[in-house]
Structure 1
């Protein structure tokens, strides 16, 4: 059987061409606040106690917290602890973001995908 990797790369290049055409962007994520839409440090009104608070968690890539995963456990896929990971709430199961992943965001701010380096034509 033919190696599917060249097809994946070609598909990835097409995805990147669509992202460029739609004025979307791809950003490499390493930690909380790396996505340009995260708005870390933004002062917001406090809906519970009144007053204001400063945003600590990313607005796009949130902290990864899950009741079935101990944050100190190591993720087999990347070798980093779960507390080093991010989470994008995109409906359904959402998207887990490993440190070093690429996040493709459209011009409208909608996240289209998360890709590992070397996957889908990324470098």
Structure 2
């Protein structure tokens, strides 16, 4: 097996697990947040159906310093309010969000990089 096939397989496996965690996180955490009147309107802009799941996971996973910069920018309406979400979620929700967000993001970026390098003839 070559390195390209190994990296592609690992990123696809990570993406599959990430998609399963996407559904689990959406059903367990975001569904609860959508029903809560305090958090219903702080989930960020939903570009496509389910995008708020990614917004919530991002708000619970990124470092607070980076989140403050995003939430104070002119485009702050695009992002979920991390302070409000942190108050209304438990430790399990935050751990699930962290695992889902970083697994999904790293797998997606790795997949894009492997495909781009393959297209450029590096492999």
Same fold (TM over 0.5): no
Larger RCO (CA under 8 A, 6+ residues apart): 2
Bigger fraction of residues in helix: 2
TM-score, structure 2 normalization:
0.31
TM-score, structure 1 normalization:
0.31
